[in-house]
Amino acid sequence: MQNIIVALDAMGGDFGPQVTVPAALRSLLLFPELKVILTGDQTAITSKLSLLVGCGTYPRLSIKHSDKVISDSEKPSLALRHGSESSMAMAVDLVANDFANACISAGNTGALVAISRFKLKLLPGLEQPALISTLPTALGNKTWMLDLGANVSSSPDSIFQFALMGSILAEQHLGRLPRVALLNIGSEKIKGNHLVKHAAKMLYQNKLVNFIGYIEGNQLLYDAADVIVCDGFLGNICLKVCEGTAQLFMDKLKLTLVGSSLRTWIAKKIFSGLFAELQTLNPDQYNGASLLGLNGVVIKSHGGANVLAIVNAITEAVYEVRQKVSTHITDRLKSVLCERHY
């Protein structure tokens, strides 16, 4: 079995080593072929490690010290200029220099995108990278959605390239040509702004992507498409709207399970399965969005991720390295974009 080396920015996100260190340990127990390099403050990481598994060295876990952390409020351009010694940049560097197969950070999205673009470079012909992740659906399937916020604005050309990248990635999972749709305010052809109309025109004329047209916001979780494409500003906000609404419903439902009355006891007995099913419908449960379009695997985790969510992000990284997702997309994209089929 070939080793998979993941560089994990231990300082990123709201909780830093408090969640990244136990998540790394848990992942090492889950994947025997995994090695983790934690980048960040050595003292904080070692202290958390000691607390959890005692002092000493561990063969599959190493630390690369950095005393600089990029804050969430730091501008991407400044992070790029002054953040080369940060825990985040170090994690990306390890991939760029082939010391790791993938890197993960729960830190500042803009900074991660800027640093990754700079260090790993965009694939030839691409305009922008895109963050992609899956949404759960009513029928228990998955729908891939991109861009979830790698960029705040995009051109029709970029939207077309997102559709292409999303289609290639989903095809690897599904084993068939995925149905690709553009998110819009209506399903009729006359609807939408300049960006979606122009991108739709390119997608309709193209034979590489199975473009099924526009879908509306209320179809997001209803298996209407395998890949949903939109610009990063819209995608990021829509995903969060989805998560917020799901969270509100779960919060209200959980209230019926609080307490020690007979009513609560019966509710717990009978509806635990239902609650578990509903829980899986919250996109927030799925952590780890891939930054597609670069020469290397970069996974962005939620800022507020807990231990389990970071483990999910590491699992996604392991999957992508195992399946050579990045290489596959790179090869397909290279041939497509160089031949300029569209």
The verdict on 335 binding a copy of itself (CB under 8 A) reads no
> Closer to a copy of itself at the Cβ: 166 or 192?
192
C-beta of residue 91 within 8 angstroms of C-beta of residue 10: no
Sign of CA dihedral 288, 40, 54, 2: positive
Q: How far apart are the first and last CA of the chain?
A: 40
Interface pick for a copy of itself out of 30, 51, 52, 152 (rule CB under 8 A): 152
- Toward a copy of itself, which CB reaches closer, 176 or 254? 254
Burial 119-139 (b: 16+ CB within 10 A, else e): bbeebeebbbbbbbbbbbbee
Q: Does 127 bind a copy of itself (CB under 8 A)?
A: no
Nearest approach, Cβ of residue 33 and a copy of itself (Å): 36
**Interaction residues for a copy of itself, span 31-70 (CB under 8 A):** none
Q: Which of 33, 67, 85, 188 binds a copy of itself (CB under 8 A)?
A: 188
Quote the crossing angle between the two packed helices 17-30 and 42-53, to the nearest 10°. Answer: 50
Query: Closer CB to a copy of itself, residue 189 or residue 341?
Result: 189
Asked whether position 309 contacts a copy of itself by CB under 8 A, the answer is no
Alpha carbons 26 and 15: distance in angstroms, whole number? 17
Which residue reads 């179809």 in tokens? 219
Nearer to a copy of itself, 29 or 270 (CB): 270
User: Is position 289 an interface residue for a copy of itself (rule: CB under 8 A)?
Assistant: no
Q: Is 1 a residue that touches a copy of itself (CB under 8 A)?
A: no
* Nearer residue to a copy of itself within complex by CB, 43 or 153: 153
**CA gap 342, 320 in Å, rounded:** 27
User: Which residue intervals of the chain are DSSP H helices?
Assistant: 17-30, 42-53, 76-82, 87-96, 109-120, 156-174, 194-205, 232-255, 262-280, 307-322, 325-339
Q: Given the rule CB under 8 A, which residues bind a copy of itself?
A: 72-75, 110, 138, 149, 152-153, 183-186, 188-194, 216-222, 232-234, 236-249, 251-253, 256, 263, 266-267, 270-271, 274, 277-278, 281
